[in-house]
Structure 1
Amino acid sequence: MMSAQSLAHLSPVWSHMTTMQPVRGEGIYLYDAEGNRFIDFTSGIGVTNTGHSHPRVVKAIQDQAANLLHGQINIVVSPAVIELSERLNGITPENIDCFFFSNSGAEATEGAVKLARQATKRQNLIVFQGSFHGRTAQTMAMTTSKTVYRAGYQPLPGGIFVTPFPYAYYYGWEEEATIDWCLHQLHLLLKSQTAPEETAAIVIEPVLGEGGYVPAPARFMQELRELCTHYGILLVADEVQSGFGRTGKMFAVEHANIQPDIMIMAKGLGSGVPISAVGASAELMSRWIPGSHGGTYGGNALAAAAANATIQVMLE
């Protein structure tokens, strides 16, 4: 178990929900040095979709590490990352066929925002009340689930507008009435605060995460898709928490039978190895100016190998 002394050299900005120090994980369980077994109800905060240390994923990591740990993607492209792009093309919505890789959900969200702004030549974003998109400066400004994420960091990046999420229980209304009201508020926002021709993207979690784990109703998602298409606004689905089987389908947008313009993926993609992805059509990606976004570790061979094994385990 952790003591104050054992944490002396770790930043206190990390809060700790338990005092256990796991030395091993297997399936849904974590084990401490004394052999005590704990169920990980958090799944590593939505990461270990294949369980802790799935043998197929572990072997893929070991094999890749023995051959090539790192190849910076601007210099060399590993077979593992090419394979991963092909695997993702096979499981994402039909229009999503081109991918950019990074290391975390926040990084992928930043990338999606940069892509949307360059591709549309518009600057504003619309996000939903109760959303969580990350803790970098840009994604903090998009996050409205808790004030603690913003405390002491103002002013945050601008051009972000917030609209209600269709959370019927919160409002105390029937679902259909909630959908109608939320769509009305969104249309009002586009008339009064951010004009459609200035709005690059609407970013939504198909299942609201920290805001209450609330699935967006299918009709709302479908009408949101229609609205975005009508105005030329890009629909961005943040599937960081809801992706890779968390909702019974590979991605939560499948429940509404819609195709987002951009999809953000992370967490469950690598079974615990840091990896994330931005997915879009090849045509949309072609509007992203080469060299205007990137990173040292994005698309590295080790993470790609873990992701390939993770996807294969899920499909089987």
Structure 2
Amino acid sequence: MTISNKDFEDVLPHLSPVWTHGTDIIASRAEGAYVYDLAGRAYLDFTCGIGVTNTGHCHPKVVAAIREQAGLLLHGQANIILHQPMLELVRALMPIVPPSIDGFFFSNSGAEAVEGAIKLARHATGRSNVIVFQGSFHGRTSSTMALTTSKTIYRAGYQPLPSGVFVAPYPYAYRYGWSEEQTTQWCLDELEFLLMSQTAPQETAAILIEPVLGEGGYVVPPKAYLTGLRELCDRHGILLIADEIQSGFGRTGRWFAVEHFDLKPDIMTAAKGLGSGLPISGVFSRLELMQKWIAGSHGGTFGGNAVAAAGAVATIA
């Protein structure tokens, strides 16, 4: 029996309209770079599921790992039991993350990872404030909306947002009409001014940056800026968080975008390409920071799900 979009006309009106729809395609399957609709027509998926399917849709090795794990253990709650896929995932990640990173926590979505990173930074430093950058996207939960500055639609109608968030200019030389050197110096000066005028260093837990700006224009910052940012954080005792949710796992040609800049973050967030389509995310940090996170002060029922972790291990392999 052939199925078409008409077969779902009774249920389509009941989907929440908050989801935007770029197409009217209802997918039946996907393989590699292609998505197939109910009629079998192939579409080249330039979106990669919004930066998710870095290995292509349904990579055979990933699918095989998922199938095998689904027959062994679907769910092992990390507060109750550890499971082999999560431990294997840590082992797979350790050789590819920056050398500053040796502690791992797993969750389900990118926004969840960002919230976890902020909680970790606040807990580890005893400070409350966070600096983000103009044009950034970090999620659409209540807390991550306050960190997101790329579009007003993500924030409009949801006020008041959580406080303690301050915005610095991203080093976007093209928009400023300056050289990279001028842009780097001005943006670092503005960041120092922010620390003098709005959020004192002793109140600032972290600076959160996309090492390649995503929704704000897909901007590659000058290497000198990120070098200066690392020095500024060290000088003031502020943690540097790299949001690698969209840029990680090969999206820029290396495992993580920070590698292009020799940047060593204190904390990283990861999601999207980590699971090749399964919901898994992570907060990665210096272990000494993780050890300051009080047991039970953060967690989640499904974080580091066994099947998703098995898919992530196969993705990395």
TM value normalised by structure 2: 0.97
Can you list the C-alpha shifts for 1:247-298, whole angstroms capped at 9, x where unaligned? 1111000111020000000000000000000001111100111100000000
How far apart, CA to CA, are the structure 2 residues paired with 1:143 and 1:254?
A: 24
Alignment match, 1:129? 134
**Offset of residue 217 of structure 1:** 1.4
Alignment match, 1:30? 35
Alignment match, 1:239? 244
How far apart, CA to CA, are the structure 2 residues paired with 1:238 and 1:258?
A: 12
Candidates 271, 277, 281, aligned match of 1:272: 277
**Offset of residue 151 of structure 1:** 1.0
How far apart, CA to CA, are the structure 1 residues paired with 2:280 and 2:88?
A: 15
How far apart, CA to CA, are the structure 1 residues paired with 2:223 and 2:258?
A: 9
Residue 40 of structure 2 aligns with an amino acid whose one-letter code is G
Candidates 299, 308, 314, aligned match of 1:303: 308
Candidates 187, 195, 198, aligned match of 2:200: 195
Q: Percent identity?
A: 65
Residue 253 of structure 1 aligns with an amino acid whose one-letter code is V
**Offset of residue 28 of structure 1:** 0.3
1:229 aligns with 2:225: no
How far apart, CA to CA, are the structure 2 residues paired with 1:59 and 1:76?
A: 24
Residue 237 of structure 1 aligns with an amino acid whose one-letter code is A
Residue 162 of structure 2 aligns with an amino acid whose one-letter code is P
Alignment match, 1:217? 222
**Offset of residue 2 of structure 1:** 5.0
**Contact kept in structure 1, 2:209 and 2:243, CA below 8 Å:** yes
**Offset of residue 176 of structure 1:** 1.2
**Offset of residue 35 of structure 1:** 1.3
Candidates 37, 44, 48, aligned match of 1:39: 44
Residue 126 of structure 2 aligns with an amino acid whose one-letter code is K
How far apart, CA to CA, are the structure 2 residues paired with 1:181 and 1:164?
A: 9
How far apart, CA to CA, are the structure 1 residues paired with 2:95 and 2:302?
A: 24
Alignment match, 2:176? 171
How far apart, CA to CA, are the structure 1 residues paired with 2:225 and 2:12?
A: 46
The ranges of structure 1 where at least 4 consecutive aligned residues each deviate by more than 2 angstroms after the TM superposition are: 1-6
SS in 2 for 1:273: coil
Number of equivalenced pairs: 312
Can you list the C-alpha shifts for 1:56-89, whole angstroms capped at 9, x where unaligned? 0000000000111001011111111001011111
Can you list the C-alpha shifts for 1:162-197, whole angstroms capped at 9, x where unaligned? 000000111111111111111110000000000001
Candidates 262, 266, 273, aligned match of 1:257: 262
Unmatched tracts of structure 2, length 5 or more: none
Alignment match, 1:48? 53
Alignment match, 1:91? 96
- Cα pair distance change 1:2/1:152, threshold 3 Å: farther
Task: Please say which of residues 210-219 and 141-150 is displaced more in the overlay.
Answer: 210-219
Can you list the C-alpha shifts for 1:190-214, whole angstroms capped at 9, x where unaligned? 0000000100000000000000010
How far apart, CA to CA, are the structure 1 residues paired with 2:147 and 2:107?
A: 19
Residue 55 of structure 2 aligns with an amino acid whose one-letter code is T
SS in 2 for 1:191: helix
Unmatched tracts of structure 1, length 5 or more: none
Task: Please say which of residues 157-166 and 30-39 is displaced more in the overlay.
Answer: 30-39
SS in 2 for 1:187: helix
TM value normalised by structure 1: 0.97
Q: CA RMSD in A?
A: 1.0
**Offset of residue 5 of structure 1:** 4.6
How far apart, CA to CA, are the structure 2 residues paired with 1:198 and 1:269?
A: 33
Residues 62-101 of structure 1 mapped to structure 2, 5 A cutoff = 62-101=67-106
How far apart, CA to CA, are the structure 2 residues paired with 1:298 and 1:217?
A: 35
